Chain A
Amino acid sequence: MIEGFHVGRHALREILVRAVESSKRIHRDLVKLLGDDKVSNIVTDLAVYSHDYTPINLHKILNLDLETIPCVVVWPESVQDVVEIVKYAYENHVPIYPYGGGSGVLRGFAPEHCGIVVDMKRMQSISLNEYDLTVAADAGVYGVILEQYLNYKGYTLGHIPQSLYESTVGGWIATRATGQFSTKYGGIEDLLLGIEVVVPPGRIVKLEPHPRTATGPDLRRLFIGSEGVLGIVTKATLKIAQFPEKRVKLSFATKTFEEAFEYTRLIIRRGVRPAVVRIYDRIETLRHFYWIRDVKDEPITIMVIEGPSSLVDAEADIVKGTFKGRELGEEPVDYWLRTRFVVKEASEYAALGFVFDTIEVAALWSRVVPLYREVIEAMKRVDGTLVASAHASHFYPQGACLYFTFGGLPRAGTTPYEYHRKVWEAAMDAVIRVGGTISHHHGVGRIRAPWLKAEIGDAGLELLQKLKRAIDDRGIMNPGNMGL
């Protein structure tokens, strides 16, 4: 028996019982439409589909504090199934919560009202076009399955988020995701050529893949980052690249974090595109590279340059000529490559009462260093914070992404949720003050929604709300997400 975590046992049991009760009609109707293999309202499914991987949710699970229980889970197997679901939801005013891998970290998926969870993972087809260098993948395909398949055939998508093993193509588009190799291959928005989306009241919008098109505002873009509030992405056609012929791995120690930024800025502006660049601050250097002697006060930068052999050699020469740090060889990069998907700490620390989370933001070069300082200081000022650190992980000729981590132990009398909220408030306010963007790649979800207005302005938010209403006039698509 697990001790000490029974706070919400009765309340949660009640909520589950009520959800099953309230779902009877919707369940019966959907079974009629789709067949009983594709629909469930059994209590174990409702309990499991109650949350995504937002770190604060780990405390909600532990405290049995999950109030977001859906009524029904469906697993469509075709775009026609998705159309039927959306039509039904539209006609009956039932909320829909699209679900990919559930790896979202901002409560983008949170079935707040008795609604239908649409899990896309039975839509798994992949179709490669080697001549055009494209791949069409259903929304429910896991990233790793797609990448393994492409590698087997001699290609890569180049989109390798840390959540590669647990996130889906549809989820990537919905959250505007990006991968660890984005400095060379770009984010999902750079890879997406064609898309198929089902929107209320149950219509299929199909935008074919083209190398480029000038047919008015690009509707593809409307759905990139739409987080399930406009429609359900069912398929995408993505660019692929030939599997790299050569890979060069470099790493450096510098006296300061700032110095590493400056060298990287100079490298990127010359047109060099390492696939991976990661600059760790002092604390994160210790966290990841504790096993290297003599780097205690020297931030580490790692780089992977890949592609055709001669191009890689040329890029590596420029990097070595520009980055003035102390070279540390391949080992730190190999270590990172081996461990890059592993997230063990969250499960262990949450169970010990520690609150951890990450916040990814971005800014133009001129603001990157002030952004780093302000956000770290803001997070540290929150009572209970023990650790605040960052690394930079995605680079552009004009700026970079900073990826912050904080960890803390809420003071007595403060709930984990209150502490968590305070750190987010402090960090978001600091980002807005300095002039960065509040999200680089995780999206908005329900966690960041309060700051969306500050980012896009009154008029911007109004436009977004109008768009939402125009497409989803009955407000059935992931209601509440992004504050919409």
Chain B
Amino acid sequence: MAWIIEALKERGLSTAMRVALRYMLGRLRGVDDIIKCALCPNFCKFNCPTHIASGSETHSPAGRARVAFFIESGVLELNPENALPLYTCLGCLACKAYCPFNFSVPEITYRLRVRLRQANALPVQLAQIVDNLSRHKFLHGPRPAEDRIAGNLLYIRGCTVRQHLPSLAEITMEVFKRFGVTLATHADEVCCGFHAYLLGAEDIFRDLAKMSIELLKKYSCAITSCPTIAYTYRVLYPRFGFQLPIEVYHVTELLKRVMSEQQVKLREVRKKVVVHESWPLSRGIETSNVMLDLLKSIPGVEVALPIRHGRYVYDIGGYCSLLKFVNQWLVRRIAQERLRELSTVGNIIVTSSPDATIVFRELGANVYDIVEVMAEALGL
């Protein structure tokens, strides 16, 4: 402000007063975050996966804020068609990584999404997700029938691993057994609520958070295969007033810990790999170096990073977003774009995101979960 005051000195007292008053009043009332974002030159858009893959301004951060502003101001009706751009957002926080206001689109549009749901303006494709979450507490419909497995540490597999990648859960349990840790699974495991948050379904989100926390209370520690769960538990739950009763880690975090505590001899794994990180770990809870450290500790593994990595990672929108349910075409394009980038660095991809494993495999890529690589190093 000093420069404005200095400039105003030349304009005389009455002008200075008028401006100062206008400024102060405006500031006191505050400018809505959606407006600020809608008026932004869209600095962060080049890192927004949905924008890069579609090329569309409507699928960019400021584009979404503009749509939100037009809905808020009554130009666009509160209907499912107009609301759609808000649900193609992955919630990946790539916008936040570059935003000078520290905004993220999912955060600044959250209240509007709550309102859209209250007004029954959800895109029709999402009605099924709401139903799944409220009736079955599970993203993919009825929960798979499972027996409870006892153990000394709760293993939260996540909806997508349970439904689409159960083999990963088995390998994970095997790997930890090698380190003397028996993982417990529980049929009461419910969806973390991230989708409910993206849907603006706060009631469902709160229910799921409460149920998840009840389950946690039965154990002394928990790990999860799903990066989104780690983020939702550790960041979103506290934001909505839920405190975690115990520590919840992503599998990579615990693996790193047990590896450093126990001097296990690893076999050589001759692989030149490129790493695909997931946003919840690299931006959400900022632990992307953990997977890198793990990979580097395996003899024979050569690790390369793509251009977009760490805090600036370009993640894909698989089951851990609403995009998979509203626009398959765009999910595919985002993943193709990421594969293009990864392939300029290496052909074997390692990730800690089950979601990415599924989507990349669907596209024919050679991809491993970090736990699978670890299993190979352990000779399993």
Residues of A within 8 A of B (CB): 1-2, 5-6, 8-9, 12-13, 16, 37, 40, 42-45, 47-49, 53, 58, 61-62, 64, 73, 75, 101-103, 119-122, 124, 140, 142, 144-145, 148-149, 152, 163, 165-166, 282-284, 286-287, 290, 341-344, 346-348, 350-354, 380, 386-389, 407, 409
Contacts and interface: CB of A to CB of B under 8 A. Distances in A.
28 contacts: A2-B34, A2-B69, A12-B75, A43-B82, A48-B66, A49-B57, A58-B39, A61-B38, A62-B39, A73-B56, A121-B56, A122-B54, A140-B55, A145-B46, A165-B46, A165-B98, A166-B43, A286-B3, A287-B2, A344-B100, A346-B41, A348-B31, A351-B35, A386-B8, A386-B11, A387-B8, A389-B3, A389-B7
B4 A43 contact: no
B36 to A, nearest CB: 4
B150 to A, nearest CB: 49
Most buried by A among B23, B32, B58: B58
B326 to A, nearest CB: 14
Contact of A48 (B23, B36, B63, B98): B63
B19 interface: yes
Contact of A9 (B10, B18, B74): B74
B343 to A, nearest CB: 14
Contacts of B76: 13, 16, 43-44, 47
A352 B31 contact: yes
B4 A47 contact: no
B2 A286 contact: yes
Contacts of B39: 58, 61-62, 346-347, 350-351
Contacts of A344: 100-101
Contacts of B15: 386
A237 B84 CA distance: 38
A45 B36 contact: no
Which of B11, B19, B45, B57 gathers most chain A CB within 10 Å? Answer: B57
B43 A290 contact: no
Contacts of A122: 54-55
A346 to B, nearest CB: 7
B55 A119 contact: yes
A166 B45 contact: yes
Interface string B115-144: 000000000000000000000000000000
A49 to B, nearest CB: 6
Contacts of B329: 37
A5 B39 CA distance: 14
Contacts of B44: 165
B262 interface: no
B18 A75 contact: no
Interface in B39-53: 39-46, 52
Nearest to A4: B29
B43 A2 contact: no
A286 B9 CA distance: 14
Q: Please classify the interface of chain B as helix (H, G, I), strand (E, B), loop, or mixed, using the class held by over half of its residues.
A: helix
Contacts of A354: 22
Contact of B81 (A43, A149, A283, A348): A43
B85 interface: yes
B96 to A, nearest CB: 14
B3 A290 contact: yes
B26 interface: yes
Nearest to A291: B2
A44 B82 contact: yes
Contact of A62 (B35, B56, B72, B84): B35
A163 B57 CA distance: 16
A47 B100 contact: no
Nearest to A385: B11
A409 B38 contact: no
Nearest to A387: B7
Given A12-B75, A48-B67, A353 B43 contact: no
B307 interface: yes
Nearest to B84: A44
Given A9-B73, A166-B41, 13 more contacts: A2-B34, A5-B73, A37-B329, A42-B81, A45-B58, A47-B75, A48-B58, A73-B56, A75-B56, A149-B307, A343-B40, A344-B101, A386-B19
Nearest to B53: A122
A342 B100 contact: yes
Nearest to A165: B43
A385 B70 CA distance: 30
B374 to A, nearest CB: 29
A283 B35 contact: no
A2 B46 contact: no
Contact of B3 (A284, A347, A350): A284
Contacts of B70: 44, 47
Contacts of A389: 3, 7
B86 to A, nearest CB: 10
B46 A409 contact: no
Contact of A352 (B26, B45, B74): B26
Q: Lowest 5 A-B CB distances belong to which pairs?
A: A121-B55, A352-B26, A287-B3, A286-B3, A347-B39
B327 to A, nearest CB: 10
Contacts of B100: 342-344
Contacts of B4: 386-387, 407
Contacts of A101: 42
B147 interface: no
Nearest to A5: B73
B170 to A, nearest CB: 38
A47 B84 CA distance: 14
A473 to B, nearest CB: 30
A341 B3 contact: no
A152 to B, nearest CB: 5
Contacts of A283: 3, 6-7
Residue with the highest number of chain A CB atoms closer than 10 Å, among B4, B37, B85: B4
Nearest to B83: A44
Contact of B75 (A9, A73, A286): A9
B75 A347 contact: no
A348 B85 CA distance: 24
A96 to B, nearest CB: 17
B218 to A, nearest CB: 44
A290 B58 CA distance: 38
A101 B82 CA distance: 23
Nearest to B341: A149
A45 B41 contact: no
A9 B77 CA distance: 11
In this complex, which of A290, A351, A354, A389 has the most chain B Cβ atoms within 10 angstroms of its Cβ? A351
A344 B98 CA distance: 12
A103 B46 CA distance: 13
Nearest to B18: A409
Contacts of B3: 283-284, 286-287, 290, 387, 389
Given A61-B39, A290-B3, A409-B18, A119 B56 contact: yes
B43 A341 contact: yes
B55 A2 contact: no
Contacts of A287: 2-3
Contacts of B75: 8-9, 12-13, 16, 47, 64
A353 B22 contact: yes
A40 B2 CA distance: 47
Contact of B26 (A16, A149, A165, A353): A353
A69 to B, nearest CB: 11
A418 to B, nearest CB: 18
Nearest to A142: B46
A148 B73 contact: no
Interface in B267-288: none
A409 B26 CA distance: 13
A391 B80 CA distance: 48
B376 to A, nearest CB: 29
A61 B100 CA distance: 21
